[in-house]
């Protein structure tokens, strides 16, 4: 099976989507510049200004125009350069896109895709390095997709393009250059279905987005110490596949939730609660959590790395749970 980068997987997904004449893209620097992360390089020349629209720096206008286009029967893909900038369009996303189907009694749908980029580790400092995907997963009417691998990025996006409701498709800034196997033949990955990325028997590590790779690296280190960790990738936050997580914990009897977000109010707390509700009688230790240090993200690279969960932090917390 050929290997491609995460960036190439997203690019392929967008090219496939643009085969539908109803699909067009809007965003800052996605045209002439080729995209802030080079995902849409060459798209403007290939598809033209009618399909690839460079926009002013006004996130509320970008998302609002996307909502209007979706209501009119088109299938817009809106790119917001980072998830931090979606704060400027939260009214459009939360109060309009998420609610219009419900408030119209099903008369209207909003098949809008908001592509955005999350996470730290690129030395972009405090206001450009946050993880807000859990905020959007809190909102009924939205779906939140957080692929960790090229395979999932392509397969999930194909499923997203079949949705009639708004989807926040969240790509991690440090995953674009990662590589993974992706088949040439057509496949899809359904929304709301977690995947066991690594089988294990002693402990379940639950993660999403880039933290899946951190969890896998931690599992390899734990194996050297005789601890066999299972890794579950949520893949989507809403809908959330709690059943796969609970089934894993019932087998391993211990759980550690790993997320890049801050622990206070983080999405990992929701996962931990679902584990407690569904596997309480099977737990041999409290549900553990590892998250980002609760500070604004530093700019200095050494401090930034210290603020983001590492395999070593996950290993230490896992060993504490195993001794509990």
How many distinct structural domains can be found in the chain? 2
Which domain-ending residue is among 121, 154, 181?
A: 181
Which domain-ending residue is among 156, 181, 206?
A: 181
Residue 190 lies in a domain: no
Buried/exposed 222-244: b ≥16 CB within 10 Å, e otherwise: beeeebebbbbbbbbbbebbbeb
Residue 85 lies in a domain: yes
Confidence band, pLDDT 50/70/90 cuts, at residue 1: confident
Residue 186 lies in a domain: no
Q: What is the CATH number of the domain that holds 230?
A: 3.40.50.920
In angstroms, the CA 130 to CA 61 distance is: 22
User: Against a cut of 0.85, is the pTM above it?
Assistant: yes
* 133-189: pLDDT as tens digits: 999 999 999 999 999 999 999 999 999 999 999 999 999 999 999 999 999 999 999
* 270-323: pLDDT as tens digits: 999 999 999 999 999 999 999 999 999 999 999 999 999 999 999 999 999 999
225 shares its domain with 157: no
59 shares its domain with 124: yes
Residue 187 lies in a domain: no
Q: Which residues are catalytic?
A: 59, 128
User: Which domain does 113 fall in, by range?
Assistant: 3-181
17 shares its domain with 72: yes
Strands 229-233 and 255-262: unpaired
Q: What is the CATH number of the domain that holds 165?
A: 3.40.50.970
168 shares its domain with 24: yes
Coil vs helix vs strand at 242: helix
Quickly list H helices, 225-253.
242-252
């Amino acid at each position: 099976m050929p290997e491609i980068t995460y960036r190439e997987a997203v690019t392929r997904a967008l090219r496939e989507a643009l085969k539908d004449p109803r699909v067009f893209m809007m965003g800052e620097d996605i045209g002439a510049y080729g995209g802030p992360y080079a995902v849409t390089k060459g798209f403007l020349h290939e598809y033209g200004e009618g399909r690839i629209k460079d926009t002013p720096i006004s996130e509320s206008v970008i998302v609002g125009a996307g909502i209007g286009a979706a209501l009119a029967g088109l299938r817009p893909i809106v790119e917001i350069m980072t998830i931090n900038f979606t704060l400027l369009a939260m009214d459009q996303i939360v109060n309009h896109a998420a609610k219009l189907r419900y408030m119209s009694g099903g008369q209207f749908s909003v098949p809008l895709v908001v592509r955005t980029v999350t996470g730290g580790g690129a030395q972009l400092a405090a206001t450009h390095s946050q993880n807000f995907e859990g905020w959007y997963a809190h909102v009924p009417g939205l779906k939140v997709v957080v692929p960790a691998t090229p395979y999932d990025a392509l397969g999930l996006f194909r499923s997203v393009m079949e949705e009639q409701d708004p989807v926040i498709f969240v790509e991690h800034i440090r995953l674009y250059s990662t590589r993974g196997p992706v088949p040439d033949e057509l496949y899809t990955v359904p929304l709301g279905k977690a995947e066991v990325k690594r089988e294990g028997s002693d402990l379940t590590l639950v993660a999403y987005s880039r933290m899946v790779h951190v969890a896998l690296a931690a599992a390899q280190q734990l194996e050297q110490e005789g601890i066999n960790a299972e890794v579950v990738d949520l893949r989507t936050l809403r809908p959330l596949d709690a059943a796969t997580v609970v089934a894993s914990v019932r087998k391993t009897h211990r759980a550690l939730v790993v997320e890049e977000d801050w622990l206070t109010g983080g999405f990992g707390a929701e996962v931990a609660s679902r584990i407690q509700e569904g596997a309480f009688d099977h737990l041999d230790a409290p549900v553990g959590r590892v998250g980002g240090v609760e500070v604004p993200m530093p700019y200095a690279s050494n401090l930034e790395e210290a603020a983001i969960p590492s395999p070593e932090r996950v290993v230490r917390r896992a060993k504490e749970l195993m001794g509990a």
